[in-house]
Amino acid sequence: MRKLFLTCLTTGVCSMSVYAQALFTYGNHSVTKDEFLRVYKKNSINKKPDMSDTALKSYLDLYALFRMKVAEADKQKLDTVASINVELDNYRKQLAKNYLTDEQVTNKLIHEAYDRMKQDVRVEHILISCTPGTDTVAPYRKIDSIYHLVESKKADFETMAKTFSDDKGSKDNGGDIGYFTALQTVYPFENMAYGTPVGKVSKPFKTQFGYHIIKVLDKRADRGQVKVAQIMIMTPKSKGEEGVTAAKLRADSIEVMIKHGVSFGDLVAQYSEDQYSVKDSGVLKPFGAGRMVLAFENAAFALKKPGDISEPVKTEYGYHIIKLISKIPLVPYDTIFPQLKHKVENDSRAQTAKDRFFDKIKEKNGFKEYVPAINEISERIVAIPDTGRNAKSIIASDYNGMNKPVFVLGGKNYLQSDFAVFLEKLTHGKLNGPKAAVVHDGFNMYVNYVVNDFEEHKLVQENPEFKNLMEEYRDGIMLFELMDRNVWSKAAHDSAGLATFYEGHKSKYMWESGFEGAVYKFKTRPLLDSGLAMLRAGNVSDEEMVKEINTSAHPDGVSIQRGRYEFSRFHDATQAELVKDKIKVVLSSSAPFTVVAAKEVFNGPGQKSLNEARGYVVAEYQDFLEKHWNEKMRQEYPLKVNEAVFKSMIRK
């Protein structure tokens, strides 16, 4: 008996303790104080929550109704709707990108980028193109042979670049791409440039563009950024040398005018042919190393004091006269950190942090590859014929019997047949390119896909922030679907219900005094005169008037609107000014000029038909449906507030 009593007492105390933490219940569901405050503070304006009795009570009523509707969505199993699952899956993948990375590695990469920004590097390079999925052997052999010729001094780097490089932008310059700094090239190229000593040639390395070798010409301290304005005289290739000579003469004459005190800004407006900067008085966005052609960059940085102006500088685009506005040194790390973080996370180096993170996931969850099984299915896929009816086609069902595991992760085996399904989807059933390379790359992508998906789903259990965001998004799209079914779509498509609602509220939908007819808006006074002549001649259609007046010179010369207007909302004419079948011209001091042609003039109120009032009726019918639906939810999920817990939140 004593034991039974203690058990009951303990159970009662535990229940009271749990209830004490519940702020409110709705039906069989409850919301804790902590959950409510988290959501309330998150949605507070300026992150300064109003903790008064009135504000808390108002939000509690709204949030409780929201929870009731989500409970109803769960009850109707809306989470099984295919479109909702697809949207949730897409959101999870997008959201997870911010979590599936190694933060320590990312911070290290940010520091590395900032340290490199303190130095500019100038290199020459040779590129042998190699697009993803194509044969890599021949391009590598070619770059390797070029490397050995240059390294052994049997060939000159610049000559080899002009002869063999696939980089059209630099080959004519002997591969010289000028100075650049961190975050201006792909990460592997940047690494090799900063890691190779001045005067040395790198070994061949691969980027997404192909195979490269680089020769480092110089490294210098970063010069920061410079802000300048320019006057540009273009030298189009179509005008040849005569055009270059004429541009030089014009640039020289502008330089003379500057020396005689003519305003730089006035000369920009009058002569500059750079359409992108002329509207800003020639001012360009600040730039540093590698952002402009070398001649322009050097001339800009050579200017010493704000206000200094260069002589005409020739580039491949024309002649430039440059005025220094300011020089901007590299800003402190803490100041630039947010921009650097964004760039690093969206740069090719971000894959480094992701790879490290994936390695940790694999190690933590017992990842192991089974090489013989991988080789077995790879060899079978590579053996697919290159000719015939199903040439280079991979059909996943052909591999259904191959059930050896290719790897294990988290205690689950991933089979050869699973990989075949993935590869068919990845390649759309066609192995375009060298099959061995496609299969190799496809398998690596399959591993990454599985690891990524594995960790995405674990985030919900392991990361409270991620879990809350996913639940909030899930609740939101389920509520949207429920609202659409019960309110929005119902109001739009329930023609019988809409008609009944209209009949019960007809007195609300009345026309005020007004007119039915056309309103013409003319852009200029001459166009007004032309339009009036056409209207007074009679029998002119809207299409004929638009065709006549809206020419290439005046594409929007006239606009025409027809309908029924109420004088309380129409201010270009009054009831006293309009007469049936008469034209009223409304002259103003500036365009547009208005002409009103009233077909009918109406006095006093008149009943709007359902079609005429449809927009208003649908909106009010939606409000009506939502109000009744809300009441239904409150009845099905009765709200009970724990007043003691509620009062503990109030702050005056």
Other beta carbons less than 10 A from residue 422's beta carbon: 19
pLDDT of residue 19: 39
pLDDT of residue 134: 67
Residues β-bridged to residue 589: none
pLDDT of residue 46: 66
pLDDT of residue 354: 82
pLDDT of residue 356: 86
Encoded amino acid at 221, one letter: A
pLDDT of residue 608: 92
Record the tokens describing residue 563, joined without a space: 């309908």
DSSP per residue, 196-215? SPTT-BPPPEEETTEEEEEE
Q: Which residues of the chain register pLDDT less than 70? A: 1-20, 46-47, 132-134
Distance CA 157, CA 150 (A): 6
pLDDT of residue 110: 92
Closest CA to 291 of 301, 279, 278: 301
Residues β-bridged to residue 287: 226
H/E run at residue 318:
strand 318-328
Sheet with 119-129, edge to edge strand ranges:
176-180, 119-129, 210-221, 205-207
Alpha helices, DSSP H, located in 1-81: 2-21, 33-42, 53-75
Distance CA 7, CA 512 (A): 75
Other beta carbons less than 10 A from residue 126's beta carbon: 30
DSSP per residue, 249-302? HHHHHHHHHHHTT--HHHHHHHH---TTTGGGTTBPPPB-TTSS-HHHHHHHHH
**Contact at 8 Å (CB) between 210 and 129?**
yes
Domains of the chain, by residue range, sit at 119-221, 225-329, 365-462, 510-607
- Domain range 225-329, CATH class: alpha beta
Sheet with 405-409, edge to edge strand ranges:
368-369, 405-409, 412-415
Q: CA-CA distances (angstroms) from residue 606 to 216, 232, 276, 320, 487?
A: 84, 66, 56, 70, 30
Distance CA 503, CA 510 (A): 13
Scored b (16 or more CB within 10 A) or e, 581-600 reads eebbebeeeeebbbbbbbee
pLDDT of residue 167: 94
Q: Report pTM.
A: 0.56
The CATH number fitting domain 119-221, selected from 3.10.50.40, 3.10.290.10, 3.40.50.2300, 1.10.3720.10: 3.10.50.40
CA dihedral 277, 279, 282, 285 (to 10 degrees): -50
